[in-house]
Structure 1
């Protein structure tokens, strides 16, 4: 129902803030809390936002929480390999059943994103204190609503092509960097009954998740991926109809 709050779960590793004083200074409550606050502030529909981290029970996503999640956001960087394959299986099943997924920045290298994309999801990168311009290439897309073009991010890690992903169903943003690189920075896909959106701006070494336009994009993305098909966990039954010779 459109008038019911979207149940958003913000998942993060929660590691950098504990180990790096510079990251802790930028995100004293954790990147996940900053991302959650931006969604709550900018979402165009009512939302209920919860945070969880890798070091919580069941790696932050026990079945009961996943089952009550309409949209999951995912930020990971230093502990991708620690995420269990069982959890990846459950998140994948939830997306295929209709849960929305927003993958952020270095989450491109997460097990769940690579599983859903079916490719390496590798890219070029340089942590060189670049300026990033995020250009809207589909101004009619809901994720671009209210967002200036370009978004100007004064200090950011560079992500560049080639980005080994399947061709997006919808390409919303393309970024350019002060070093001359370009990157498909806002991409959408359908997987089963669910929607997936990837948005690249946001690194632990820079205050990008405090940027109001970045926060608006993530909030828009959460609302957008929540608008997929109604959640349905019923297995699809296939009846044999014969063989092709």
Structure 2
């Protein structure tokens, strides 16, 4: 079966800014999904902020292998119950790819547990995305670097946890550098953050950027069954122990009690 990907976009700039609408008549989410669907091993659909449940019902998420997330102007409008729903699916094994200004999204900040803040500048400057981990699956087919002619600068310090892997580091024409491709794991779910993708530039039309996203979808896919009981904390009584043991000492709980939350 192909990897089932959902591209989530807040779909605000496309409706309110003519320049963005001209660059992305399908919406950024639609452009990204079309690029993913060039890979016969991926089946990509879209969801947006404006849909009921933001397009991310429990049924939809249960059938999603990898979720891609782009947000910027409306982070605060994403309902907390949907964020919790997505977080649980990541813990269970759904892959998550967070794009560009999604670094400030509720879901990314919750999974990282840090401010996820950074420096930034809109000057249409050149970006060179260096593949510093060229053997990584996400970097395949990219070569030593990607050239992006016009972009928004994201600069260090980037207030995120130390990643499992740093796949890309970007240099900008103004002199700043940024860890632009980072991997994490939370529970059974793999996470990739990729910074290129400012809405007023045609970055998601860049063939190299599209290749990174296709690679990332395959990397983030976990084919194992969902770890549906990951949030459970069962009490294991002495008679259920793998080896015979005798209860000793004081205890707070009786057999079968729920843990303290």
TM-score computed with the length of structure 2 as normaliser: 0.88
Name which of 193, 196, 199 aligns with 1:201: 196
Partner SS state of residue 24, structure 1: helix
Higher relative contact order (CA 8 A, sep 6+): 1
Residue aligned with 2:115, SS: coil
Length, aligned pairs only: 239
Alignment check: 8 A CA contact 1:10 1:35 kept: yes
Say yes or no: does 1:25 pair with 2:22: yes
Paired position in structure 2 for 1:5: 2
Q: Secondary structure at the match of 1:106?
A: helix
Separation (CA, whole Å) in 2 of partners of 1:218 and 1:37: 11
Please report how far the alpha carbon of residue 66 of structure 1 lies from its aligned counterpart in structure 2 after TM superposition: 0.8
Q: Give deviations 1:46-87, integer Å, cap 9, x for gaps.
A: 111111100011112111111110000000000000001100
Secondary structure, counterpart of 2:37 in structure 1 = helix
- Is 1:186 the equivalent of 2:181? yes
Aligned equivalent of 1:108, options 86, 103, 112: 103
2:255 corresponds in structure 1 to none
Greater alpha carbon shift after TM alignment, 61-70 vs 231-240: 231-240
**Greater radius of gyration (CA):** 2
Q: Which residue among 145, 151, 168 is the counterpart of 1:150?
A: 145
Q: TM-score, normalised by structure 1?
A: 0.94
- Give the distance between the partners of 2:103 and 2:142, measured in 1 at CA: 23
User: Could you give the per-residue CA deviations for residues 92-113 of structure 1, whole angstroms, max 9, x where no partner exists?
Assistant: 0000000000000000000000
Contact 1:122 1:163 in 2 (8 A): yes
> Contact 1:193 / 1:229 at 8 angstroms: preserved in 2?
no
Would the aligned equivalents of 2:93 and 2:222 in 1 still touch at CA under 8 Å?
A: no
Residue 211 of structure 1 is matched in structure 2 by 206
Q: Name stretches of at least 5 consecutive residues in structure 2 with no aligned partner.
A: 238-248, 251-261
Whether contact under 8 Å (1:194, 1:228) holds in the other structure is no
- Runs of 4+ in structure 1 deviating by more than 4 angstroms, as ranges, are 240-243
Q: Does the residue aligned with 1:162 lie in a helix, a strand or coil?
A: coil
SS in 2 for 1:95: helix
- Residue ranges of structure 1 left out of the alignment (5+ in a row): none
In the TM superposition, 1:14-53 aligns within 5 A as: 14-41=11-38, 43=39, 46-53=41-48
Partners of 1:68 and 1:137 in 2: CA distance: 34
